[in-house]
Amino acid sequence: MKIMAVDFGDSRTGLAVCDKSEFLASPAGVIEEKNFDRCIEKVAAAAKEHGAEEVVVGHPKNMNGTIGERAQKCELFAEKLSELVGVPVKLWDERSTTVSAHYYLNQTNTRGKKRKAVVDAVAATIILESYLGFRKNSV
> CA–CA separation, 24 vs 44, rounded Å?
21
Please name the amino acid found at residue 105. Answer: L
Find out whether 28 and 17 touch, Cβ atoms under 8 Å. yes
**Could you give the CA distance from residue 59 to residue 67 in angstroms, rounded to a whole number?**
9
Query: Which domains are assigned to the chain?
Result: 3-138 (3.30.420.140)
pTM exceeds 0.75 for this model: yes
- Secondary structure (3-state) at 24: coil
Over its length of 139 residues, how does the chain's per-residue pLDDT go in tens digits?
Answer: 999 999 999 999 999 999 999 999 999 999 999 999 999 999 999 999 999 999 999 998 887 888 889 899 999 999 999 999 999 999 998 866 666 665 666 666 666 666 566 778 888 998 999 899 888 887 6
Beta bridge partners of 30: 14
Q: How far apart are CA 130 and CA 132, in angstroms?
A: 6
- Per DSSP, helices labelled H in the chain are 36-49, 69-85, 97-107, 112-138
Nearest to 43 by CA among 92, 95, 83, 72: 83
